[in-house]
Structure 1
Amino acid sequence: MVLGLLPAIRGGLGELARTGQHARLIDGYFRPYARAFEAVHYFSYLDETLDDFTKDPEVTARVRLHRGGDWHPWAYGFLMPLRYARELRQCSILRVFQVTGTLPAVIAKQRFGVPFVTTYGFWYGRLARSAATSALRRGVETLGLRAAAGVIVTTPELGAHVAARAGAAKVHLIPNGVDTVRFAPAPHAPRRARNVLYVGRLSSEKNLGSIVDAAARLASRFELQLTFVGDGPARAALEAEARRHNVAAEFVPVVEHGRVPSFLTAADAFVLPSHTEGHPKILLEAMSAGVPCIASDVGGNRAIIEPGVTGLLFDLGDPGALAGALARVLDDPARARELGERARARAVERYDLTRLVAEEIELLKRLARSDR
């Protein structure tokens, strides 16, 4: 069998590299795909080569990257099935990593009869920057969900949404996973200042000012050091807010995915205060590393954290709720340790990436064309 891979609209390894995530795709997905299929084709929107990102012989022997170019991404979504018609015809099934990238898969299905499976892991239309883009994304979503042979969802809530739009028979619940070997607990040297960590995009929907506000509220009780790992449009405002509140904050640019565990194991608490989340991988990684986790009580976070057992959830509508949750973790080392240990156990039990990717591969083979 031959597997074809389609990224999200505009996507490619270079786009993932800007947030340090390309290694996760290569190590966690490309490698097991290469073991399970005769050949793997990755159709990028970007002008790039696989050698730019990996020299792993196991990957390069079976994975072929088909480069994009200097095209408008939506236009290239139409062009790709024409440009790479021969390669797409060879595929037994296509795997689309986000529903926003289903346009070329729909065309390939219509022209060549290649079935496809897509992930619906987030309410993608909600984060569109304009009404026109939102409408376009919703249109592609509808088209993609209806044409897909199967839809992978990461939470039951998203599964219900897809079932209402495309039918329950297409829905397959496979949550995001974590490399539980790479993201494992490590000895934590106590320091006078407590390290509160966030890793991810610095943008308005992540609600990062709430972390600074919580630190300011707790300044008389704890010596805190905030660490923000990542980059984004909200960085300058966040730095200014930390200075205004006299809060110690370190801003670390985007790091390679392999370096994230060292930041997690140095943290006393991990905070994810977003206004909205799909099924956040970084929260799974923090749990797997045994870090006490505090997250906003929104759908994606709620699907992962069992309150008071594997972490704490706080109400976005209560201005003091995050500070209260953070104080409960920092005030009680024994409780913090228990939260971290239970989080680690839950990650190993439910979210081991190796097992979940194997489950996905079994689904892809079941839905693939038998003649290829």
Structure 2
Amino acid sequence: MKPLANGDTGGQLAAASSLMSSPLVDHVEVIPMSTTMPSSPPPPFAVRLGSAARRLATFTRLLPSADVALIFASSGLSVVEKGLMGVIASACGRGAVLRFSTGAIADECERSRLMRWWMSRVVESCHGIVAQGPFWVRFFEAFPGGRGKVVEILNAIPLIDRERIARRGAPGKRIVYVGWVYRPKGVFDALDALEKVLRRVPDATLTLIGGGRDEAELRAAAAQKGIAAHVDCKGWLPKEEVFEHLLRSDVFFLPSHAEGLPNAMLEAMSAALPVVATRVGAIEDVVTPGRAGFVTAVGDTDAMADALCTLLEDPALARAMGDAGRRQIEQNHTIDVVWPRFAAILERAARAAGRDVSVDLPEAAGAG
């Protein structure tokens, strides 16, 4: 489970790594198998297909040693590969639990009847589906065979110390984005919104942390709009540096077109930052509008700009929303809350497959 060469880990790897460093490994024996993408942008399709075939062979070889397979899946080819792993595990009499961590899968199923058929087959075959919030619970339960298998388990993230938050400097006009720099993440919408923000808040700035295939085009677009001096592209940074930028910012901005439940947003909430994000995936399940931030429609840069200006112009409101978001993270998104729920669904899936296993869990493990 290694990060990409550029230092990015991604949501799946972050989730898997947090489980591997949690008390879960003291209660169950874990056989890790990495399926991390070797590069970004991804390698050619033929190379990816060959890598997937090798991973499937390794998975099949390891499977007899396991009672249950916990499989982290994304979208596109990942759904085919990881879904096949789940089908194989179930056919071999092992428990199969899939955790999907992408917002693209809903659109893919809507656009492609073949993908929707495959997802239906995967959901029917597996013994458990981990969903990242109520939106995704409804999505997976809508498939035949899904009802009763879907369990909501929210993402776990490391908490930023409250003492560090208390040492945060005076409010400014600093907006921060963390994530891939490419169109589906809404980064060009972010530029359009910033252009409108600057008419009301002329000293506002936007810091983008991350990289991707559209970074050069984004820089050119900022220059063309005449706002390049207000846009700072940092590239991928070590996690600790990301936290430092969050603590120096005033608003977290995520105008994405599709999401599962973004860890970057949760980390910003851990830093007591108010959020301006789009109404996709499980975002609105976490960012209650008017409480921890504001949620807009995808592409509505007027609403985004209004929300950003409201928070930049009213530091007291921004602080109150940031505090509310921090409390949500403490209550629902720590690893101590999350790992027992994974242990519980793993045990349930193994038993559903006829494996005689039991796990000694904290009393609250069955919650959620």
TM bracket, shorter-chain basis: 0.7 to 0.9
State the percentage of identical aligned residues.
Answer: 24
Match among 56, 62, 83 for residue 102 of structure 1: 83
Q: Secondary structure at the match of 1:175?
A: coil
Q: Which runs of 5+ in 1 are unaligned?
A: 1-11, 49-69
Match among 311, 330, 340 for residue 358 of structure 1: 340
Q: Which residue of 2 aligns with 1:117?
A: 97
Amino acid at match of 2:168: H
1:110-137 superposed Cα distances (whole Å, 9 cap, x missing partner): 2x31111001344444676xx8xx6665
Contact 1:109 1:116 in 2 (8 A): yes
Contact 2:95 2:346 in 1 (8 A): no
Q: Which residue of 1 aligns with 2:274?
A: 292
Amino acid at match of 2:73: Q
Quote the Cα distance in structure 1 between the aligned partners of 2:312 and 2:18.
34
Q: Which residue of 2 aligns with 1:146?
A: 124
Quote the Cα distance in structure 2 between the aligned partners of 1:368 and 1:190.
52
Quote the Cα distance in structure 1 between the aligned partners of 2:96 and 2:5.
22
User: TM-score, normalised to structure 2's length?
Assistant: 0.80
Moved over 6 A (4+): 45-48
Q: Which residue of 2 aligns with 1:30?
A: 20
1:254-265 to 2 correspondences below 5 Å? 254-265=236-247
| TM superposition shift of 1:362 | 2.1
Quote the Cα distance in structure 2 between the aligned partners of 1:71 and 1:108.
25
Deviates more, 1:307-316 or 1:36-45: 36-45
1:164-221 superposed Cα distances (whole Å, 9 cap, x missing partner): 2133111111122222246973522237x62110000111112222222222223243
Q: Which runs of 5+ in 2 are unaligned?
A: 40-44, 358-368
Quote the Cα distance in structure 1 between the aligned partners of 2:339 and 2:306.
37
Match among 166, 170, 173 for residue 152 of structure 2: 173
1:214 aligns with 2:196: no
1:200-349 to 2 correspondences below 5 Å? 200-222=179-201, 223-247=203-227, 248-316=230-298, 318-349=300-331
| TM superposition shift of 1:246 | 2.4
Query: Is the alpha carbon distance of 1:302 and 1:46 closer, same or farther for their aligned partners in structure 2, counting shifts above 3 Å?
Result: closer
Query: Is the alpha carbon distance of 1:278 and 1:272 closer, same or farther for their aligned partners in structure 2, counting shifts above 3 Å?
Result: same
| TM superposition shift of 1:95 | 0.2
Q: Secondary structure at the match of 1:169?
A: coil
Contact 2:3 2:13 in 1 (8 A): no
Aligned residues: 334
User: TM-score, normalised to structure 1's length?
Assistant: 0.79
Flag the structure with more relative contact order, 1 or 2, with Cα contacts below 8 A and sequence separation at least 6: 2
Contact 1:92 1:114 in 2 (8 A): yes
Amino acid at match of 2:131: V
